[in-house]
Amino acid sequence: MSTADNTAAAPAVVLGEVEVVRLIEWHGPFGPAAAAFPDIPPHIWRDNADWLVPDHYEAEHELAVLALQTWLLRSAGRTVLVDTGMGDGHPRPGSPPFDRWQGGLLDRLRAVGVTPGDVDVVVNTHLHVDHIGGNTVEADPGEWVPAFPNAQYLIARADDAFFGPGNAHGAGTQDDGRLVYEDSVAPLHRAGQTVLWEDSYRIDENLTLEAAPGHTPGSSVLSLRSGPDRALFVGDLIQSPAQLVDPACNSAHCVDPAAAQTSRRRLLDQAARDRAWIIPAHFGGAGAFMTDPDGGHHTCHPMGQTGTPVRPPR
């Protein structure tokens, strides 16, 4: 559940030569677990409540508990952000709780010594609203400009096409989706700051983006390989550890259910094989996990307790 200070930056973790800082925007009950994860049968939440509560599940009202957060990486002399949260003051009339939300990312960055001009690379794991709002700031009423004037924004071409105005089937043609693209992606294009990539994109010697379609067509995973350490920033391919009990379970927001299942299984197997940390966008608590495949599901080892599972999923 919410901590006393939701805006605190967790202490940096060093993986190989990469410093990883977690900037938490929000952590709390998101909504009914059955609505957010219709594939997860109620008994999975109940049977695993002893390790899902309080960071991932609120048992009394059966609510999924999620975090909103940005990962700040210092790699090869550059500053990289992974996802930018809901943003500050963006109009979201279709989602009243988030309408004109104040995410505070720039304040949180300043608190760890990063100014907007210091950010070299912004990764959007995908173009859902809660991952791209902080891409831009409102310079004048209704005029949105890149929040990070010196950054390259790395966006999967497939998501740009799906959510952009040219797609008759994607969110770009729906009112809220059009707003989101218009205020959080289009200004980056106008400023010439986007890099649209396909299949994979090497950021530096430690970091590579890889396609993992399913949650959205352009969903991607940021792979960190540095020294002996491995991590996979998986975005929303896994949104709750309850999905580790049965990796076939998608969230309500997975655009292509079959592809999302395939990508999730592939990445969980890869992470187990490589002993890679799995770092999803929305996990509260430890925020990062290793897993051991165990029959059809994965046993969860939170960061900080390697080798000591909170409790094997049943």
**Nearer Cβ to Zn ion, position 70 or 226?**
70
How many residues bind Zn ion (CB under 5 A)? The answer is 2
Distance CA 124, CA 197 (A): 11
In degrees and rounded to multiples of 5, residue 25 shows phi and psi of -90, -35
Closest distance to Zn ion from the beta carbon of 239 (Å): 7
Give the burial class of 34: count Cβ atoms within 10 A of its Cβ; 0-12 exposed, 13-18 middle, 19 or more buried.
Answer: middle
**Nearer Cβ to Zn ion, position 130 or 160?**
130
**Nearer Cβ to Zn ion, position 125 or 223?**
125
Distance CA 30, CA 281 (A): 14
Mark the segment that binds Zn ion (CB under 5 A) among 69-77, 213-221, 234-242, 293-301: 234-242
Closest distance to Zn ion from the beta carbon of 16 (Å): 27
Distance CA 106, CA 62 (A): 33
**Nearer Cβ to Zn ion, position 69 or 136?**
69
Closest distance to Zn ion from the beta carbon of 146 (Å): 21
Does position 236 bind Zn ion by CB under 5 A?
Answer: yes
**Nearer Cβ to Zn ion, position 238 or 310?**
238
- CA distances to 116, 198, 210, 272, 290 from 203, rounded to whole Å, are 19, 13, 11, 24, 24
Closest distance to Zn ion from the beta carbon of 302 (Å): 20
Touching Zn ion, residues 112-141 (CB under 5 A): 130
DSSP character for 272? Answer: H
* DSSP bridge partners of 305: none
Closest distance to Zn ion from the beta carbon of 168 (Å): 24
Positions that interact with Zn ion (CB under 5 A): 130, 236
